[in-house]
A = this chain, B = another copy of it.
Amino acid sequence: MFESAEVGSKVDKKAYAAREPALREQLLATQRRLAVAPLSVVVVVGGVEGAGKGEIVNLLLEWMDARGIETHSLWALTDEEKARPPMWRFWRILPPKGHLGIFLGSWYTQPIIDRVLGRTRQLELDVALDRMLDFERMLANENTLVVKLWLHIGEKTQKRRLEKLESDPDQSWRVTKLDWQFFKYYKRFARVSEHALRRTSTGETPWHVIEATDWRHRDLTAGTVLLEALKQRLDKIDATPPPKLEPDLPTPKTVSILRALDLSHKLEDRTADRRLLKHMGEISRHSRLLAEAERSLLLVFEGPDAGGKGGAIRRVTRAIDARLYQVVPISAPTDEELARPYLWRFWRHLPTHGRVAIFDRSWYGRVLVERIEGLCPEEDWRRAYAEINAFEQQLCEAGTIVLKFWLWISPEEQLRRFKDRQATAYKQYKITEDDWRNRKKWDAYEAAACDMIEKTSSEDAPWVPVEADDKNWARVKVLETVAGTLRKELDR
């Protein structure tokens, strides 16, 4: 792969002068198209030190309108980043629609360095790379164009560059010990990078390896690659008719995990109170151990309206010190959230080490309400299952304990509760037109929930179906599960 970037490509002064003005103008014009398009752009700039990564960023900012560009140098993690899953630092800086984000360093940096330094094995690198591809595929599907540039120079050129930088008093700060350390690994770094690039070059997000020995060639190539990628994607958007938004109303199977639930389970008040108290004590003790264990807890509550999510959540929070938890209610997204990939608004609220996040509704809205009401195109909710699984896997691997509760009631019980709410003055606010409307689609919600549980319940992030016709039973089951899971995860 890199051989073709060591062939001595050059652009002479005259050819550069002939090409540069038009390229700049086209880039600017294309950026203006981008500004009003439903698209955001991430430009990843990778390569070895001395190849001119910083220069390329300077160049793009000079050629284009810096007001629509955010630049991010991704080196040492901040402590806020360390307390969350590794990908959080990239999610938090995803540019909104109409903007470009230029990332110096990327999600590839750490896996490549770890492999070069022998901290990981080949297999681990490959697993990491496959995930990066999943991530980029998701970004592509979520209206984010990823342009990946890799600046390559040969070993001798790198040595010369590092020496030259070091001898220039204005530039020497840019060459660190680490750079020389890496230089010793040049061949190994080249081999690992080449493998990584080959494995992660897809039709949708190819790597563009740019020979960076001659700066004119490097600059023109980088600018042209970005321009072409932008134009192609914008043209595609213009040519694509808006997606059809149609409700999908699946029919429930006669035998299913939800139909198999025994909704007649009941608990006496006294038994329930005793057991709740016991589990609350356990949760209280264990939640305080999260910080030292560098773990966090994330609970998801889903289920039909009036299913008892709020009541169950209140029983959980009562057990936890208020300084340690946050309840995250999910309703309509803000415009800043709409301008970014779907999962962005959930990444924002991930708990740090030591903390508990309780989601009252969640990312599963995509495969429930959005599917059924036709709020997103079919292909979007269809691919969401895999995206969600990948998301939750990252959480678990970063030490987050994930539990997802599906509070399930019978339609008769829901009706009883709706009527009760209407009749009780201080509960009336809890019932809206939407609730009655959703109720008409009961069957579809049931079937969608079954699909969801089937496709997204995993050992690490299991769905816990809860028989919720009896509130005592439901609350005890929720707390028992939380307490038992915390015990299992933290008592080691």
Residue numbers of A with Cβ under 8 A of B are: 25, 28-29, 32, 54, 57-58, 60-62, 65-71, 73, 78-80, 102, 104, 170, 173, 284-285, 288, 310, 313-314, 317-318, 321-323, 325-329, 334-336, 360, 426, 429
- Least Cβ distance of A277 to chain B in Å? 14
B173 in contact with A288 (CB, 8 Å): yes
With a cutoff of 8 Å between Cβ atoms, the chain B residues found around residue A327 in the complex are 66-67, 69
A-B contact pairs, 11 of them (CB 8 A): A54-B322, A57-B322, A61-B322, A66-B314, A68-B329, A78-B79, A104-B323, A170-B288, A334-B334, A334-B336, A335-B336
> Which partner residue on chain B sits nearest A55 by CB separation?
B322
With a cutoff of 8 Å between Cβ atoms, the chain B residues found around residue A426 in the complex are 25, 28-29
A58 in contact with B336 (CB, 8 Å): no
- Least Cβ distance of A338 to chain B in Å? 10
Identical copies in the complex: 2
> Which partner residue on chain B sits nearest A339 by CB separation?
B334
> Which partner residue on chain B sits nearest A83 by CB separation?
B78
A62 in contact with B334 (CB, 8 Å): no
Candidate in A327, A335, A426 with the most chain B CB atoms within 10 angstroms = A327
> Which partner residue on chain B sits nearest A430 by CB separation?
B32
B67 in contact with A322 (CB, 8 Å): no
- Least Cβ distance of A440 to chain B in Å? 26
Q: How far is B66's CA from A328's CA once the two chains are assembled, in angstroms?
A: 9
17 extra interchain contacts, Cβ-Cβ under 8 A, other than A78-B79, A170-B288, A335-B336?
Answer: A28-B426, A32-B429, A54-B322, A60-B322, A62-B318, A66-B314, A67-B327, A67-B329, A67-B360, A70-B326, A73-B323, A79-B79, A79-B80, A80-B80, A173-B288, A335-B335, A336-B336
A62 in contact with B326 (CB, 8 Å): no
Candidate in A29, A68, A78, A285 with the most chain B CB atoms within 10 angstroms = A78
> Which partner residue on chain B sits nearest A67 by CB separation?
B329
- Least Cβ distance of A344 to chain B in Å? 13
- Least Cβ distance of A222 to chain B in Å? 13
With a cutoff of 8 Å between Cβ atoms, the chain B residues found around residue A284 in the complex are 170
- Least Cβ distance of A476 to chain B in Å? 19
Q: How far is B78's CA from A285's CA once the two chains are assembled, in angstroms?
A: 26
B322 in contact with A71 (CB, 8 Å): yes
Q: How far is B328's CA from A69's CA once the two chains are assembled, in angstroms?
A: 9
With a cutoff of 8 Å between Cβ atoms, the chain B residues found around residue A314 in the complex are 62, 66
With a cutoff of 8 Å between Cβ atoms, the chain B residues found around residue A71 in the complex are 322-323, 325-326
With a cutoff of 8 Å between Cβ atoms, the chain B residues found around residue A57 in the complex are 322-323
- Least Cβ distance of A238 to chain B in Å? 17
Q: How far is B352's CA from A73's CA once the two chains are assembled, in angstroms?
A: 13
Candidate in A57, A65, A68, A310 with the most chain B CB atoms within 10 angstroms = A65
With a cutoff of 8 Å between Cβ atoms, the chain B residues found around residue A329 in the complex are 67-68
> Which partner residue on chain B sits nearest A316 by CB separation?
B66
With a cutoff of 8 Å between Cβ atoms, the chain B residues found around residue A68 in the complex are 329
Minimum-distance CB pairs A-B, first 7: A67-B329, A57-B322, A66-B327, A58-B322, A73-B323, A61-B322, A334-B336
B170 in contact with A285 (CB, 8 Å): yes
Q: How far is B317's CA from A414's CA once the two chains are assembled, in angstroms?
A: 61
Q: How far is B173's CA from A288's CA once the two chains are assembled, in angstroms?
A: 9
Q: How far is B95's CA from A436's CA once the two chains are assembled, in angstroms?
A: 32
- Least Cβ distance of A15 to chain B in Å? 23
With a cutoff of 8 Å between Cβ atoms, the chain B residues found around residue A318 in the complex are 62
Q: How far is B170's CA from A326's CA once the two chains are assembled, in angstroms?
A: 21
> Which partner residue on chain B sits nearest A313 by CB separation?
B66
With a cutoff of 8 Å between Cβ atoms, the chain B residues found around residue A66 in the complex are 313-314, 317, 327
